[in-house]
Amino acid sequence: MFATCRRLGIGTAAVYTDPDAASPHVAEADVRVRLEGRNGYLDAAQLIAAATAAGADAVHPGYGFLSENAEFAAAVQDAGLTWIGPPVAAVRAMGSKIEAKKMMSAAGVPVLAELDPNTVTQAQLPVLIKASAGGGGRGMRVVRDLDALPGQVEAARREAQSAFGDPTVFCERYLATGHHVEVQVMADAHGTVWAVGERECSIQRRHQKIVEEAPSPLVERVPGMRDRLFEAARLAAKAIDYTGAGTVEFMADDAGEFFFLEMNTRLQVEHPVTEETTGLDLVALQVHVADGGRLDPEPPANRGHSIEVRLYAEDPAKNWQPQAGAVHRFDVPSARAEFTTLGGVGVRLDTGIVDGSEVSIFYDPMLAKVISYAPTRTQAAGVLADALVRTRLHGITTNRDLLVNVLRHPAFLDGETDTAFFETHGLADLAAPSTEADAPRLSAVAAALADAARNRAAATALRDVPGGWRKLASGYQTKRYVDAGGADHEVRYRFTRGRLVLPDDDGIGLVSSTPDRVVLSSHGVERSFAVTTYGDTAFVDSPLGSTKLVAQPRFGDPDAAAAHGSLLAPMPGSVIRIAAAVGDQVTAGQPLIWLEAMKMEHTITAPTGGVLVELNVEAGQQVDVGLVMARVLDPEESEEPQGESR
């Protein structure tokens, strides 16, 4: 929004809460206003007061939950401010998914029938529980077992209440292998309604999109589907007298039959792929329409292909656990544009972080959107995957490797992108590091040699001795690292007359080394490795990929290991529910503790069957990652299992 305003010559005012005080959007704004409390972004009164104090004359609601809150839209207008969004009546009409489906059905838009959670039968399974006021995957649950339905409905209601302030949920038939296809609409107050183009957003985790593209591979291969989609989207917009930018979302099957899901009465996170394939600035059009402007009779023609990936602070290999902490370095060297269209082949970056940013537990874990454009889909995928591999992202764990593996997967490149992508192709394989096979070993060697160069540079007595040269051969030095996947890498090396000797890797040679860059040759092929160290952790970046390595001490600390049967907090968060007490008998996999982090519920289960012998947390407590929250012990085991150091 701010980037567009700069291009339009419009001044900007930012609001922020304390966790976001150092956010780039705060620094970018002309003026900024602090909001009280971590939930200040949901406080309509504070936001309107901030706009008034800043001298603003219009409010853009962004992607947040208030962007689809009719009461907030009305309050903005009642305060004499321009609402850069659709009419209040349209927001209200689409604010309840239950009522929206009824309205769309009456307008002739295909819908999936709503199911009452209290009357779902075995024959109707599987079903999808959805929050009526929801979005972003909050409050959504897939249920395949009728006995599990009541508990899942209650969990969905809790999450919906926490996220939206409304616990209403409903069910609908779950299409396990469907395609999530949506149409970008733009309408003015003079009767023109554009169907700008469609996007496919089928690759999702927890019902939240992570890869989005335009045009849709499904729509491209099904004759006549685009015309039918666009007509349904225009019908939906006209049925509620819509103006501004919006998105009509559909679920489709492989044959191209589709059903209305919801209408988002706001700009979508994934709007850049539509901008790249049309050349439009959708935010500028929002401002234009809100100011009473007219659209041209027809939208511009679509061209080429664009793909966006959402870079999240999360660990896909650990059930998508959100991550919090410092971002030491974030650099996408391939990026040619930021918050604006590329105008040609390349990579665009829309980011909310910079070097030194701190990711908190209080908000959505999305860090950035990385977008590519190219004449063909294959080239767009290749350009984007290469940009992600070359990105320097140091500090927090992210889904970067998963995104690279998806973009390079044969099924993705063939356009086989339904909502069961991770189940079909194996999350474990897709979440594995995207580096080439020999990258971890070469990266470990580079880290060890960079460390040796750092030590030489710090040793004043050796400052004038070239490249580790000595008259007599040195003994082998040994360094051990553990990579992000838990694999050990031991590097044994020595220098003999200035030549590197690795007893286990005769094909590896040293070309040059400094504390932050090492050039290695491997069987005659030279590669450069950038090495950046933060304490005991080294990040090694090269064209082979990025490798995180944690240096290991020569002698382990026996007190560092958690006691047998411990339940560790997998992330920082707030305890919202505890389902057992000390002394209770529990079974392996039984849910014991529920955490809320980044507006999502996370269940902590018993690691083994036995007795709950420790419980160190209570409801409402904030916990840090790694805290021992509870401990389960098999009654037949002693408190001191054999071989466990205490």
Angle formed at CA 582 by CA 579 and CA 586, multiple of 5 degrees? 60
* DSSP strand pairing (325-326 vs 305-312): unpaired
DSSP 112: P
Q: Which H or E run contains 5?
A: helix 2-8
pLDDT tens figures, 512-521 = 999 999 999 9
Q: Which fold has domain 117-173?
A: Dna Ligase; domain 1 (3.30.1490)
Tell me which residue of 422, 419, 411, 388 sits closest to 319, measured CA to CA: 422
Write out residues in the chain with pLDDT < 50, as ranges.
Answer: 466, 640-646
* 2-92 CATH choice from 3.40.50.620, 1.10.599.10, 3.40.50.20, 1.10.10.10: 3.40.50.20
Mention every residue, 6+ apart, whose C-beta is less than 8 A from residue 4: 281, 283, 284, 287, 339
CA dihedral (232, 237, 262, 97) positive or negative: negative
Q: Where are the beta strands (DSSP E) in 81-205?
A: 82-83, 114-115, 127-131, 141-143, 169-173, 179-187, 193-205
Give the bridge partners for 234, in sequence order: none
Residue 458 has a CB neighbour count (10 Å cut-off) of 10
Write down the domain spans for the chain: 2-92, 117-173, 304-434, 439-551, 566-633
Report, at the CATH architecture level, how domain 304-434 is classified.
2-Layer Sandwich (3.30)
Strands 179-187 and 244-252: antiparallel
Give the integer Cα–Cα distance in Å for 379 and 344. Answer: 12
Cα distances from 232 to residues 100, 193, 206, 264, 464, in angstroms, run 14, 12, 27, 15, 75
Residues β-bridged to residue 329: 394
CB 373 within 8 A of CB 348: yes
Check: CB of residue 520 under 8 Å from CB of residue 509. yes
- Domain 2-92 identical in fold to domain 566-633: no
What is the amino acid identity at position 228? R
Q: Which fold has domain 439-551?
A: Glycoprotein, Type 4 Pilin (3.30.700)
| pTM given for the model | 0.86
Pairing state between β 193-205 and 179-187: antiparallel
Nearest Cα neighbor of 385 from 374, 397, 396 is 374
Place of tokens 């992202």: 393
pLDDT in tens, 281-310: 999 999 999 999 999 999 999 999 999 999
For strands 585-586 and 610-615, give the pairing.
antiparallel
Q: Determine the Cα–Cα distance for residues 144 and 149; give it in Å rounded to an integer.
A: 8
Task: For the domain made up of 566-633, give the CATH fold.
Answer: OB fold (Dihydrolipoamide Acetyltransferase, E2P) (2.40.50)
